[in-house]
Structure formats: C-alpha cells, structure tokens
Chains A and B, each alone.
Chain A
Amino acid sequence: MKRISRHLLAVVTAAGLLGACSAEAGLGAPIDTLVELEASWQCDVTRFSFESAEKIEEKLGQARTRFGVAETDHRLFIDMVEADVALRDLVADRHDELCPVGG
C-alpha cells in the first residue's frame, strides 16, 4: 500500500512538474524522458570501463543523443533533482529498477 501511494505521489508530482517545470524552467524535454535518461545513465556508467575521463563524457553525450535531450536541459534537470526530493525519488526508484544493488 505504501509503495502504491509512493508511486502515485511520484506520478502526480511528475505530472505536475512536467507542466510547471517544462514551462517555467525552460526544459526542452519531458520530465519522464529526463528521469529515464538520468536513471539509465547512472546505471550504464558503472557497466563500462573507459580509456579516458573524456570517454565518460562522450558516453554521456551519446546517452543524451539517444534520448533526444540537449546537454543544457540535462544539466538544468540535474539542478532541479538536487533541489527537489520528489524528483530524486523518481530517479532513484527508476534507477533501482534498472540497476538493483548487487544485480
């Protein structure tokens, strides 16, 4: 029950943020796309070893391209995540699904 309520809250929050944030914060991508990008990137980055630090940035750039998200929108979204616990929960819950601890 708690889990359902939490997800419901998250969806409602996301839906609210989608309208409010996209318009007011000037985001050029939907919130759910940005959540998926950030959660999957945080998962993917641990599955690779990289020849150089620059290759990590390249890989992140490829992930943004795959999701159709501009770097400025992604950085703005990360700033929003840091300021908003509901968004942090959305990213963390999706990250848990994609990349469970020890999985």
Chain B
Amino acid sequence: MTRTRPGRRPPARSLLLVLVSALLGTALAVPAGAQPAPRDVKINKYLQIRTDSTAAVVVGDTAWVTVSIRGKEDLDDVRFTATLTDGSVGYPANTVDHSGPYNGYRLDRRETDYVAFRVTIPEGFAAARAELALEASWTHGDQSMRGTETVAIPLVEYVGAPYSLVSTSVTLAPDADGWVEVGFAGLAPRLESFEVAVVDPPDLDVYYPHERFTSLAGDSLLEDGETDVVRFRLGESHWNALLDVQLEVRYQHQGAPQLANHPLSIVPG
C-alpha cells in the first residue's frame, strides 16, 4: 500500500553506528547491526491520529479499514502495526508485516495521509465495536520513537437490511452544544437522498440543518461499505435528560422511496 519512492527509504542508521564505533576505537553499548530500542513517547506530540472510529465492518467479514494521520513534526520511517483483542490484522502485500503511510515512509509536519489495515472480525463477535490497538514507530532527527493509540472499529450485523445504525444508543457529550451524532453503515448499494428526522416524541425541541430533516455529513448518498453520520441539535432543556426517540429514515433505493423507523437512546455524557 505504501508507495515506493526514491529518497524516502529508512536511513541506514546501523551502518553509521558501526562506522562511528570503528573511528573512535570504542565498543558501542549497542551491538553492531542492532539499533537502540525506540523511546516510548506520547504519539500525539509527534503525529496526530485523526480517526477515532473507522468505517464499520460486518461481523464475520474481512475488510480493509483506514486510519487518517497527520504529522506534527517531520518524521521518517513511519510504520504502524496493529492488533485486535479478538480477530486478526493483516497488512499490504508490499509491506508484509506493517503498514506505512500511503504516500511513503516520511510524514512531514502538517502532511495528511492514511494507513490501511486488513481486519478480520470473527463470527459471533458480540461487542458493538472492536478495539484496534495501534503501535507506531518513527524516527525524529536521530531519535527512534514509538507510541500507541487505540481506534474503534464499529461492528454491524448483516441481515439483508439496506443499512444499519452504528449504534442504537448515542452519548450527548457535555461540550457538544446539544449536537447529537448518529452513525449509519451502508450495506446495500446506493441508498440515495438519505434523510433522517426525529418523529417521536413529536414535541421534542430539535433543530435540523435542512429545516425538517438532517442528511448525511459526507453527501446524500449512502453506499455499500460506507459509514457516515447525521447530526441534529437538541434544545437546551433536553441536554441533561435520558431520551428515547424514534428516528424516521427516508431514502430512495433502486428508484423507489423507502421509509423506516428506528429507536434511538440519547444518553447525557
């Protein structure tokens, strides 16, 4: 997955260490050919993991998911490995045992890129989400470093439905200013004009970006394998109460209008 690019290969640091050792006539603490252990650091000081939650994966399925990253410093030899507590992780064929940024192993400050992982979620996985534990390593100047971060993989069941809510319960964060975010995972191809509204309770104080409904953040199309979100804003009087609401979802599938209702719990954070 990582593109091979001239001048973007990891530095030959081992060779440099051996040469310095020979010139000084001293034995290095690190054996020739070995590198010092990377220093454990807070990953967000050097590179930003921009993805909290990947696209959803169907339980029992194998799929590639991606994680958005951005450099906070100029970094070389950026590599990621990942593990799932239950399930397995694979890497691109050209990197075998790790995943690198798509545009090469170097990640400059403010450069945005992504890394991809092939995840397999076993049948019968009961949790609503899997935790993808990332370990990143890189060099910054002369320092080898590594850091860890965890990213969620939402899991959905495929039951022949055209789409699935990522979760039937969402948390209204204290700093969200009343904005509720609901994730939808597309299962069937091309659900067009995807619109969502709260229809019950009917007197709920709710604000929509489109006056009477909200639509997907990306665009109005929900595709197979895509995860997107809708957002609506609750009036301030509802921010601290547990709410059970009904969502009405309208969309076009194969040219025919469709309508469905879904219960959703909104839990104060």
Contacts and interface: CB of A to CB of B under 8 A. Distances in A.
Nearest to B229: A103
Given A53-B92, A53-B116, A56-B64, A48 B217 contact: no
Contacts of B116: 53, 56
A5 interface: no
A99 interface: yes
Interface string B223-265: 1011111000000000000000000000000000000000000
A5 to B, nearest CB: 17
Contacts of B217: 103
A91 B112 CA distance: 8
A49 B109 contact: no
Interface string A43-67: 1111111111101100000000000
B77 to A, nearest CB: 15
B59 to A, nearest CB: 12
Contact of A85 (B110, B181, B223, B228): B110
Contacts, number: 90
A72 to B, nearest CB: 14
Interface residues of A, number: 29
SS class, residues of chain A in contact with chain B: helix
Interface stretch (B10-18, B50-58, B80-88, B196-204): B50-58
B108 A82 contact: yes
B144 interface: no
A53 B108 contact: no
Contacts of B227: 47-49
A95 B110 CA distance: 11
A81 B107 CA distance: 11
Contacts of A53: 1, 64, 92-93, 116, 118
A78 B72 CA distance: 18
Interface residues of B, number: 39
Interface string B84-120: 0000000011000000000110101111111010100
A48 B225 contact: yes
B114 A82 contact: no
A81 B5 CA distance: 14
Contacts of A45: 66, 68, 114
B68 A42 contact: yes
Q: Which of A49, A52, A103 has the most CB of B within 10 A?
A: A49
Contacts of B70: 92
Nearest to B64: A50
B149 to A, nearest CB: 13
Nearest to B231: A103
A102 B49 CA distance: 10
B225 A49 contact: yes
B63 interface: yes
A101 interface: yes
A83 B56 CA distance: 34
A69 B55 CA distance: 26
B65 interface: yes
B218 A82 contact: no
Interface of A: 38-39, 42-53, 55-56, 78, 81-82, 85, 88-89, 91-92, 95, 99, 101-103
Interface of B: 1, 48, 50-52, 54-57, 63-68, 70, 92-93, 103-104, 106, 108-114, 116, 118, 181, 217-218, 223, 225-229
10 contacts: A42-B113, A45-B68, A45-B114, A46-B51, A48-B66, A49-B63, A49-B225, A53-B118, A95-B112, A99-B68
